[in-house]
Amino acid sequence: MLGENRAVGNQMVQLFREFPLLNTPSMLLIVLRQAIDGGATVAGCAAALHALLDRADERPPVGPDEISSRLDALVRDLAAAKLIDLAPDGSFSATDRGRAALVEHPQGFDVADLMAYPDFARHIRGLEHRRAGLDPRAGGYDQGFYAYWTGRGPADNPFAPDLADHLAWENGWSEALDEDFRWSGPRAAENLR
């Protein structure tokens, strides 16, 4: 199953890589811009993205379910960073912090850039700690898990290939990839370097 998910994930990452309007910075900008007026929804963001793709005359072979899933995950990330507020009905609006992020990053930013926000960093660390008991080499595992969420790829493994921590790091990184895929499909193409 892991190999199957990784193969499908690699294909999706390649597709998102080929269409710049589907990259994470572009999609984060769409979400934040939609959220400025409040009452934004994932469906509204998807419609804005499709309109942008139409204007650019791009027809990516990515279905609406994959795009909506990816947008939904980005909405959760922005909410964790407190750049948007989520309403009980699933709509969302930009916070003052989110408005400032748009001003500071007019060309967009990546999920790894969200680590600058303490709330998001705590959220990611919380994800790490929940997985620490899954691997006896928790230190290497946690480092790999964290590395994925900060935009690093398998080539960034700091441990020598003949050490057990090397494998633990890869396991942590792969678990983060699998979680990302389960929730949103692969988000960050650079994570699969």
Residuewise pLDDT in 10s, the chain (193 residues): 444 444 444 455 555 556 667 778 888 999 999 999 899 999 999 999 999 888 988 887 777 888 888 898 899 999 999 999 999 999 999 999 999 999 998 888 887 788 888 888 777 776 655 554 554 556 677 788 888 888 888 999 988 888 888 888 888 888 888 777 665 544 444 444 4
In sequence order, the 6+-apart residues with CB closer than 8 A to the CB of 126 are: none
Tokens standing for residue 67? 């795009």
Q: DSSP 3-state assignment of 11?
A: helix
pLDDT, residue 92, reads 96
The total number of structural domains in the chain stands at 1
- The helix-helix angle for 118-131 and 138-149 (nearest 10°) equals 140
Domain boundaries, position 128: 2-190
pLDDT, residue 122, reads 79
Please count the residues of the chain.
Answer: 193
Separation CA 65–CA 167 (nearest Å): 33
Ramachandran angles phi, psi of 84, nearest 5°: -135, 155
Ramachandran angles phi, psi of 93, nearest 5°: -140, 155
Q: What is the distance of C-alpha 61 from the center of its chain?
A: 20
Closest by CA to 187, choosing from 5, 20, 9, is 9
Separation CA 129–CA 138 (nearest Å): 9
This prediction has a pTM of: 0.60
Closest by CA to 47, choosing from 29, 70, 26, 30, is 30
